Amino acid sequence: MTEFIHMFSYHFMQRALIVGVLVSLCAALLGVSLVLKRYSMIGDGLSHVGFGALAIASALGFAPLAFTVPVVVVAAILLLRLSRSSRVHGDAAIAIISSSALAIGVITVSLTTGMNTEVSSYMFGSILSLSRSDAILSVVLSLAVLVLFILFYPRIFAVTFDETFSRATGTKTELYNTLLAVLTAVTVVLGMRMMGALLISSLIIFPALSAMRVCKSFKAVVLCSAAISVMCFLVGITASYFLETPTGASIVVADLCAFALFALIGRR
């Protein structure tokens, strides 16, 4: 017990917990819509774009988050447009953009600094080394994502469930799809700090999939997925503290266990 109290007495740990809980919530809420719209891979694609943007930011000496967020937002809107045009297949569009961004990022890194700690922290996650200003920006952005999601929840449901009907009956589906893309982009960039570019998509996909095993209504799935996500984050970060395992990977393993558990419950 004293060990626990000790864990929470560190400033970096408190920061990590606050940011982590908020980002987990964002990822879980958006994840439900993304999984149901068959956009799961967008999270993965965006994280690669984020990596490229970070490499460029660090080469040019820009503030990492402040530069990456707008770049990834633009990429998300572009991806959405591309995946709707009938000429390119959705998943092909994502693959094209994400691997190009990754390649540009890798070249930038090797030409300039080499693999410095900052870049590798975005690759594999390092929530424990969050600076004060990054933490504040993360909190503000994730609160904004949460508030927007809650405000537009009925519209997000309608657009996710049956976009054609919504459009036909006078809902501005383009607008809400764009909103979804922007919120996802912000969440992916924030999540990269925690999980790393390689693991962020699991933060978005796992809780939604687990919740869908047992819940029948959309609202229940959203709430359940939020709860699973926060629980798994807390379990993962605690485990990583005591076992000295990497944080992002520990959270993914916690999510995997939760998924296995829910899959078992759902089969009965």
When binding is defined by CB under 8 A, the residue of 40, 129, 171, 178 that contacts another protein is 171
When binding is defined by CB under 8 A, the residue of 157, 179, 234, 235 that contacts another protein is 157
When binding is defined by CB under 8 A, the residue of 79, 130, 158, 205 that contacts another protein is 158
Asked if 130 touches another protein (CB under 8 A), the answer is: no
Length of the chain: 268
Give one DSSP letter per residue of 64-102, joined into a string.
HHHHHHHHHHHHHHHHHHHHHSTTS-HHHHHHHHHHHHH
Q: How far is the CB of 248 from another protein (least distance, A)?
A: 28
When binding is defined by CB under 8 A, the residue of 9, 170, 244, 268 that contacts another protein is 170
- Residue placing its CB nearer to another protein in the complex, 220 or 264: 220
CB 264 within 8 A of CB 68: no
Spatial CB neighbours of 234, under 8 Å, sequence gap ≥ 6: 17, 21
The HSE-up count of residue 189 (CA atoms within 13 Å, CB side) is 31
> In the stretch 29-48, what mask flags binding to another protein with x, by CB under 8 A?
-------x-x----------
Asked if 168 touches another protein (CB under 8 A), the answer is: yes
Cα angle vertex 186, ends 184, 188, to 5°? 65
Tell me the number of residues near another protein by CB under 8 A.
26
Closest by CA to 121, choosing from 52, 61, 197, 68, is 197
d(CA 267, CA 261): 10
> In the stretch 204-243, what mask flags binding to another protein with x, by CB under 8 A?
--------x--xxxxxxx----------------------
- Residue placing its CB nearer to another protein in the complex, 192 or 221: 221
- Residue placing its CB nearer to another protein in the complex, 127 or 146: 146
Q: How far is the CB of 177 from another protein (least distance, A)?
A: 15
d(CA 9, CA 21): 17
Cα angle vertex 37, ends 36, 40, to 5°? 80
- Residue placing its CB nearer to another protein in the complex, 2 or 169: 169
Residue ranges binding another protein (CB under 8 A): 36, 38, 151-152, 154-155, 157-158, 161-162, 164-171, 212, 215-221
